[in-house]
Amino acid sequence: MQRLIPVLNSDHVPLHLISVINTLLTAAKEISHRLHQGSLAGTLGSTLDENIQGETQKKLDIVSNQLIKTMLLETNLVHAVASEEEDDVVMGNPDARYLVAFDPLDGSSNIDINSSVGTIFSILEKPKHPAEGKELFLQTGDEQVAAGYILYGPSTMLVLTTGQGVRAYTLDHRVGEFLLTVDKLTIPEETQEFAINMSNQRFWAKPMQAYIQDLLAGTEGKRQKNFNMRWNAAMVSDVHRVLSRSGIFAYPADCRDENKPCKLRLLYEANPMSFIVEQAGGKASTGYERIMSLQPTEIHQRVSVIMGSRQEVNTCLSYYKSIECERLDG
């Protein structure tokens, strides 16, 4: 099996970008070790603190964030980082070329029940126009040069794109390396699976409510086929299932809190996952526009997300076109 660096070299990925990716994976190996140690590592449970999102931080949220941030900045290849756990961007080498936005531990509420979690990352180049601080990261998803996630499950997997398709690697603990296990991930266009948090159903806009009702109606309904629902409460594992065997993943806007109609963050969750999904032949939308075309306005911006098998996403979007309603995401 091929190692990561020779594969990226064969794609003519710049050496400094390969080094940044490799640094992320070094941090991921340490996070994987601590997760697999469980209570033995002394890092389970919550802290008394909240992050910028207003979410209670898990101990491993803080540890993972610090590991990734420190390792990236120590390379001198990174100009700045932006993290879910940081209020502001953290500056690195002023002469460096790359920016990294990341969610250090997606789905961290699953840690204490020994369920799957992950790390999501997006890599951009420093803009050519003058920019400082948060402005550096206000780039569309189309400007990403690489994106990926590490899934910490029964095995630790990396799913990565540099804009030349999607590959999957598995961490071989015997040699401490990520080895290529899937050379080309492709999402089938059709599916009979969906992933969504059904507890929010009554708060969704009419198009999503109608779409899900038709899925639940099965063979007796408009779609005339049965659908299975799967929900892991971690974007990484839910999207990984879509990549592995088709499906549609959605976290739509809702009206529970008018100040926070959306859950997922654009820069370090929606954009990198959209890049991966599109490179695998799928589609990613807010319900109204392509996610990677959105112009960010701030680093912790939230968006509605619908992504997965192309034909099924298109079917879902047809409800948004045919049913008139007020946009919950503004």
Annotated binding site for Mg(2+): 84, 103, 105-106, 269
d(CA 318, CA 3): 42
User: In the block, which residue shows the tokens 């964030």?
Assistant: 65
As given in the structure block, the two tokens for residue 276 are 């991966």
Query: Distance (Å, rounded) from C-alpha 18 to C-alpha 262?
Result: 33
The three-state DSSP-derived secondary structure of the chain is: CCEHHHHHHHCCCCHHHHHHHHHHHHHHHHHHHHHHHHHHHCCCCEEEEECCCCCEEEHHHHHHHHHHHHHHHHCCCEEEEEECCCCCCEECCCCCCEEEEEEEEECHHHHHHCCCEEEEEEEEECCCCCCCHHHHHCCCHHHEEEEEEEEECCCEEEEEECCCCEEEEEEECCCCEEEEEECCCCCCCCCCEEECCHHHHHHECHHHHHHHHHHHCHHHCCCCCCCEECCCCCHHHHHHHHHHHCCEEEECCECCCCCCCCCEEHHHHHHHHHHHHHHCCCEEECCCCEHHHCCCCCCCCEECEEEECHHHHHHHHHHHHHCCCCCCCC
Query: Which residues define the annotated binding site for substrate?
Result: 106-109, 197, 263
Binding residues: 84, 103, 105-109, 197, 263, 269
Rounded-to-integer distance, Cα 253 and Cα 257, Å: 10
Cα dihedral value 151, 115, 188, 294, nearest 10: -60
Residue carrying the six token digits 């790390």:
119
Q: How far apart are CA 152 and CA 174, in angstroms?
A: 17
